C-alpha cells in the first residue's frame, strides 16, 4: 500500500511539473539538498520500476504463451486451428479422391465385364449362320454324290456298253428313249394318238422344258430329279450311236472308227457332266433348319421336306438381303458380334469364289474341247498330188 502511495506521489509531482511548467530554481551556486536528492532518486527508481512492471505486464499480456488469454496464445491457437482445418481438408480430399478412384475402378470394371460378355456371348444370327453353313456343307456332299450317281448311269449309256440299249443297235436306243418319254411325260397330243396315257399337267413334256432343270433352286422330289435328268438327256445325246462290235471293232477301219468313237464319248461325257453338276446341286438331300423354312414361308413358298445345296446357299444369301430378323439383329449387335458377322460373310464369299472357280475350270475344259473339235474338223490330213501329164510324141 505504501509503495503504491509513493508511486502515486511521484507520478503526481512529475505530472505537475509538466502541466504547470514550473520555473526551475535559480541559484548562483549549486544547492545540494541531500534529503531532496534521496527522495528524487527513490522517486526515479520507483517510476522506473513501475514502467518496467507495466512493460513486463503488457509484454506478458501479448507474448506469454503460458497465459491462455494472451494475444500470442490466442494467435497460436488460431493458427493451430487453421492448420488443423487444413489437415482435415487434405484428409477429406484424400478420402474423396480414394472414393472417386474406387467408384471409377468399379465403373471401368463393369464396362470391361460388359465388353467381355458381349465378345464372348454368341449372337443369335451367328448361331443361325453356323447352322445354315452346316446345311450347305452337307447338301454339297449329297449333291456331289447325286452327280456321281447320274454320271455312273449316263456314261455307260453314251458309250453303248453291254446292257444298254445302244449296245444292241441304234434302233433299240431310239425305242428306249421313246418309251421313257411316253411313260413319264405323255402329252395330250400323244394321248389323243393312242400312244400313252396323259401325264399330270406339270409333267407333260417336262423332258423338253428348261424349267425342269432351272425352274427352282430345289428339284423337290424324285420326279423332279428324273425330269431334270431326262431334259439333260434330250439336250445332250438323245440318241446314242450303236456300239462297235465284232468285226466292226477288230478290222482296220473298225480301229479307226473306235478311236473316233472314244473322242466322241469323251466330249459327250464332258458335256453331260455339266448337266449332272447342275442336277446334283439342285437335288434334295438335306433337311432345312427351322430358320430356313421360315425364310421360305416369308417368301410365300411352301417349305419342302428336303432342301438342295443351291437352295440352302440361296437362302443364306437372301437372308442377309431381305430378312427382317437379320436386319434387326444386325442393328442390335455389339461391335464384336458385327466383326464375327463380317468374318462369316467373308468366309461365305470365299466359298462362293471357290465354287465359281470350279465352274470356271469346267467351262474352260468345255471351251478347249470345242476348240479342238473345230480344229479337227477343219484340219486337212492329206494334200492332193498333182496329176501327171503325158506328152504326145
The answer to whether the Cα torsion of 158, 160, 162, 165 is positive or negative is positive
Predicted local distance difference test score (pLDDT) of residue 298 = 87
Residue in 54, 39, 46 with CA at minimum distance from that of residue 8 = 46
Task: Give the model's pLDDT for residue 1.
Answer: 47
- Given a contact cutoff of 8 angstroms between Cβ atoms, the answer to whether 125 and 341 are in contact is yes
- Per domain, the residue ranges of the chain are 124-374
Which residues have a Cβ under 8 Å from the Cβ of 231 and sit 6 or more positions away?
A: 206, 207, 208, 209, 210, 212, 213
Q: How far apart are CA 92 and CA 181, in angstroms?
A: 99
N residues, the chain: 393
CB 120 within 8 A of CB 303: no
Joined grid coordinates for residue 252: 482296220
Show Cβ contacts of residue 119 under 8 Å, excluding neighbours closer than 6 positions: 334, 336
Collapse the DSSP code of 286 into the 3-class scheme (helix H, G, I; strand E, B; otherwise coil) and give the result.
strand
Going 127 to 130 to 132 to 138, the CA torsion angle's sign is: negative
Q: Alpha-carbon distance 205 to 166, whole Å? A: 23
- Give me the phi and psi of 380, to 5 degrees please: -95, 120
CB contact set of 292 (below 8 Å; sequence gap of 6+): 132, 135, 303, 307, 312, 315
**How much is the CA Rg of the chain, to the nearest whole Å?**
60
Query: Which among 135, 112, 122 is positioned nearest to 329, based on CA atoms?
Result: 122
Quote the pLDDT of residue 29: 47
Query: Taking the CB of residue 380, how many other CB atoms lie within 10 A of it?
Result: 6
User: H or E stretch including 381?
Assistant: none
Write down the pLDDT at residue 8: 55
Q: For cell 478412384, name the residue.
A: 101
Q: Which of 293, 273, 305, 307 is nearest to 137 (CA)?
A: 307
Mean pLDDT for back-to-back runs of 10 residues, the chain (393 residues): 52 52 51 63 77 70 59 66 77 87 91 80 82 91 93 93 92 92 93 92 93 88 92 93 88 89 94 94 91 89 90 90 87 84 91 93 93 86 66 58
Amino acid at each position: 500500500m505504501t509503495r503504491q502511495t509513493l508511486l502515486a506521489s511521484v507520478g503526481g509531482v512529475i505530472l505537475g511539473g509538466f502541466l504547470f511548467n514550473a520555473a526551475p530554481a535559480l541559484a548562483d551556486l549549486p544547492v545540494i539538498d541531500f534529503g531532496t536528492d534521496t527522495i528524487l532518486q527513490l522517486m526515479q527508481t520507483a517510476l522506473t520500476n513501475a514502467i518496467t512492471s507495466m512493460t513486463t505486464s503488457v509484454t506478458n499480456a501479448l507474448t506469454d504463451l503460458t497465459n491462455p488469454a494472451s494475444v500470442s496464445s490466442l494467435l497460436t491457437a488460431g493458427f493451430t486451428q487453421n492448420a488443423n482445418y487444413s489437415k482435415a481438408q487434405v484428409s477429406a480430399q484424400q478420402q474423396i479422391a480414394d472414393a472417386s478412384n474406387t467408384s471409377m475402378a468399379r465403373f471401368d470394371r463393369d464396362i470391361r465385364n460388359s465388353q467381355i460378355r458381349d465378345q464372348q456371348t454368341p449372337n443369335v444370327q451367328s448361331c443361325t449362320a453356323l447352322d445354315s453353313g452346316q446345311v450347305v456343307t452337307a447338301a454339297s456332299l449329297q449333291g456331289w454324290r447325286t452327280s456321281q450317281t447320274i454320271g455312273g448311269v449316263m456314261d455307260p449309256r453314251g458309250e453303248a456298253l453291254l446292257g444298254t440299249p445302244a449296245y444292241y443297235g441304234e434302233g433299240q436306243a431310239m425305242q428306249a428313249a421313246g418309251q421313257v418319254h411316253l411313260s413319264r411325260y405323255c402329252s395330250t397330243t400323244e394321248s389323243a394318238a393312242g400312244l400313252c396315257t396323259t401325264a399330270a399337267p406339270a409333267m407333260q413334256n417336262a423332258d423338253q422344258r428348261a424349267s425342269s432343270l432351272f425352274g427352282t433352286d430345289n428339284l423337290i422330289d424324285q420326279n423332279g430329279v428324273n425330269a431334270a435328268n431326262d431334259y439333260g438327256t434330250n439336250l445332250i445325246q438323245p440318241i446314242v450311236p450303236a456300239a462297235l462290235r465284232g468285226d466292226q471293232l477288230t478290222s482296220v477301219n473298225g480301229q479307226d472308227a473306235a478311236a473316233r468313237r472314244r473322242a466322241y464319248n469323251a466330249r459327250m461325257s464332258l458335256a453331260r457332266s455339266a448337266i449332272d453338276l447342275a442336277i446334283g446341286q439342285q437335288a434334295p438331300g438335306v433337311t432345312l433348319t427351322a430358320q430356313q423354312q421360315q425364310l421360305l414361308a416369308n417368301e410365300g413358298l411352301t417349305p419342302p421336306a428336303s432342301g438342295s445345296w443351291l437352295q440352302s446357299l440361296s437362302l443364306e444369301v437372301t437372308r442377309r438381303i431381305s430378312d427382317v430378323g437379320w436386319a434387326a439383329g444386325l442393328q442390335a449387335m455389339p461391335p464384336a458380334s458385327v466383326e464375327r458377322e463380317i468374318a462369316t460373310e467373308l468366309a461365305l464369299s470365299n466359298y462362293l469364289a471357290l465354287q465359281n472357280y470350279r465352274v470356271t475350270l469346267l467351262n474352260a475344259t468345255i471351251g478347249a474341247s470345242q476348240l479342238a473339235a473345230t480344229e479337227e474338223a477343219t484340219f486337212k490330213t492329206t494334200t492332193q498330188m498333182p496329176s501327171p501329164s503325158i506328152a504326145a510324141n
